Structure 1
Amino acid sequence: MRASPTASAETPVRPPAATGTARPATGTARPVPGKQRDPFFDNAKYLAIVLVAIGHAWEPLRSGSRGVTALYTLVYAVHMPAFIVVSGYFSRSFRATPPQIRRLVTGVVVPYVLFETAYTLFTRWTDHQPDRAISLLDPLYLTWFLAALFVWRLTTPLWNHLRHPLPLALAVAMLATLSPSIGDDLDLQRVLQFLPYFVLGLRLRPEHFQLVRRPEVRQLALPVFGCALAVAYWAVPHFDYAWLFHNASADQLGVPDWEGPLMTLALFACSTLLVACFLAWVPRRRTWFTALGAGTLYGYLLHGFLAQGAKSWGWYDPSWVRGPLGEIVVTLAAAAAVTAPCTPPVRRVFRFATEPELRWAFRRDATELARTP
Structure 2
Amino acid sequence: MSSTTHPGITAAPLLTAPAPAPVRRRDPYFDNAKYLAILLVAVGHVLPVVVEGSRATRALYMLVYAFHMPAFVLISGHLSRSYTGRPDQLRRLLTGVVVPYLVFEVAYTLLIRWGAQPERPYSLLHPSYLMWFLIALFVWRVTAPFWSVIRLPVPVSIGIAALAAITPGLDGVVGMQRVLQFLPFFVIGLRMRPEHFRFLRRRPVRIAAALVLAGAVPFTYWATASIYMTWFYRTVSAQEMGVAWWPGLVRVGALFVCALILTAAFLALVPARRLWCTVLGSGTICGYLLHGLLIRGGQYSGFFDRYPSLGTPGGRVLLTVTTLVVMTLLCTPPPPVHRVMKPLTEPELAWAFRKGGTGSAGPGRR
Asked if these proteins are the same fold (TM beyond 0.5), I'd say yes
Say whether 1:339 aligns with 2:295. no
Deviates more, 1:81-90 or 1:256-265: 256-265
The DSSP-based 3-state class of the residue aligned with 1:244 is: helix
Q: Which residue of 1 aligns with 2:45?
A: 56
Percent identity (aligned): 51
Output the CA distance in 2 between the equivalents of 1:364 and 1:261. 49
Q: Which residue of 2 is the match for residue 66 of structure 1?
A: 55
| Distance in 1 separating the partners of 2:239 and 2:49 | 26
AA partner of residue 274 (structure 1): L
- Structure 2 CA distance, aligned partners of 1:79 and 1:109? 23
Alpha-carbon distance in 2 for matches of 1:43, 1:183: 32
Task: Provide the rounded CA distance (Å) in 1 between the counterparts of 2:299 and 2:167.
Answer: 32
Aligned position for 2:4: none
Q: Secondary structure at the match of 2:243?
A: coil
Corresponding residue for 1:145? Answer: 133
Partner AA of 2:77 in structure 1? G
- Equivalent pairs counted in the alignment come to 337
Match of 1:355 among 333, 339, 346: 346
CA distance in 2, matches of 1:132, 1:319: 29
Q: Does 1:34 align with 2:20?
A: no
Matched, 1:208 2:199: no
TM-aligned CA distance change 1:258 to 1:130, over 3 Å? same
Unmatched 5+ residue regions in structure 2?
1-20, 361-366
Tell whether the 8 Å contact from 1:170 to 1:265 is kept in structure 2 after alignment: no
Deviates more, 1:97-106 or 1:358-367: 358-367
TM-score by length of 2: 0.89
Report which stretch shifted further, 230-239 or 347-356.
230-239
Local SS of the residue matching 1:252: helix
Q: Could you tell me which residue of structure 1 aligns to residue 319 of structure 2?
A: 330
Secondary structure in structure 1 of the residue aligned to 2:240: coil
Output the CA distance in 2 between the equivalents of 1:191 and 1:326: 35
The 8 Å contact of residues 116 and 136 in structure 1, kept in 2 or not, is answered as yes
Which residue identity does 1:122 align to in structure 2? L
* Aligned position for 2:147: 159
Q: Deviation at 1:311?
A: 1.7
Shift of 1:312: 2.1
Whether contact under 8 Å (1:173, 1:264) holds in the other structure is: no
CA displacement, residues 243-296 of structure 1 (integer Å, 9 cap, x when unaligned): 111111011112121123222221221111111111121111111111111000
Say whether the 8 Å CA contact 1:174–1:260 is kept in structure 2.
no
Answer whether contact 1:294 1:342 (CA < 8 A) is retained. Answer: yes
**Is the 1:88–1:201 Cα contact (8 Å) retained in structure 2?**
yes
Paired amino acid for 1:95: T
Question: Take 2:318 and 2:22, find their aligned partners in 1: how far apart are those partners?
Answer: 44
Q: Does the CA contact (< 8 Å) of 2:239 and 2:245 recur in 1?
A: yes
Deviations 1:128-187 (A, max 9, x none): x33321110000011100000000011111111111011111111111111113242110
- What is the aligned partner in structure 1 of residue 304 from structure 2? 316
For each residue in 1:329-368, what CA deviation from the matched residue of structure 2 results, as whole angstroms up to 9, or x when unmatched? 1101111221111112200100011111111111122895
What displacement does 1:53 show? Answer: 0.7
Query: What is residue 99 of structure 2 aligned with on the other side?
Result: 110
How far residue 315 of structure 1 moved from its aligned partner, in angstroms, is: 3.1
CA contact (8 A) 2:42 2:323 kept: yes
Cα–Cα, structure 1 residues 189 and 34, in superposed 2: closer, same or farther, change >3 Å? same
* Alpha-carbon distance, 1:33 to partner: 4.1
Q: Name the CA distance, whole Å, in 2 between partners of 1:307 and 1:259.
A: 35
Q: Does 1:285 align with 2:273?
A: yes
Aligned residue identity for 2:324? A
Over 3 Å counting, the alpha-carbon distance change for 1:132 and 1:52 in structure 2 is same
Note closer, same or farther for the CA distance 1:366–1:52 as it changes in structure 2 (3 Å cut). closer
Q: Does the CA-based 8 Å contact 1:46-1:290 persist in structure 2?
A: yes
- State the distance in 1 between where 2:357 and 2:260 align: 42
TM-score (norm 1): 0.87
Helix, strand or coil at the partner of 1:353: helix
Report what 1:85 is aligned to. Answer: 74
Per the alignment, do residues 205 and 115 of structure 1 end up closer, same or farther by CA in structure 2, a change over 3 Å counting?
A: same
Q: Residue 235 of structure 2: which of 229, 241, 247 is its match?
A: 247
Q: CA RMSD in A?
A: 1.6
Runs of 5+ consecutive residues of structure 1 not aligned to the other structure: 1-31
Q: Which runs of 4+ in 1 moved over 4 A?
A: 366-369
Structure 2 Cα separation of the partners of residues 142 and 310 of structure 1: 16
8 Å CA contact 1:189, 1:248 repeated in 2: yes
Amino acid at match of 2:134: L
Q: Please name the residue that 1:75 is paired with.
A: 64
Q: 1:302: which partner in 2?
A: 290
